[in-house]
Amino acid sequence: MSEKEFREICELDEIAEEAGGYVVYHPTDENEVHYNYRAIIEYCREKGIEPIDLTIREMQKFIVA
């Protein structure tokens, strides 16, 4: 997933949350990892960082099986 796609999904999830829904991302590559974007946004707000600045170890916390 590109940085642009990641930012767009995070923005869409914020809008969806306000409306009582959520964003479901379906990558075209079946081996691509799925993340809990809402949890990522919450974590970043608590830490005062941008989602794109997360480390690989931090991102691993948000992998959805």
56 exposure class (CB count in 10 Å sphere: 0-12, 13-18, 19+): exposed
Helices marked H in 1-65 — which ranges? 3-18, 37-47, 56-60
The pTM score is 0.59
The C-alpha torsion from 53 through 7 and 41 to 21, rounded to 10°, is -170
Give the model's confidence band at 24: pLDDT under 50 very low, under 70 low, under 90 confident, else very high: low
pLDDT digits (tens, 9 = 90+) for 31-60: 777 888 888 888 999 999 988 899 989 999
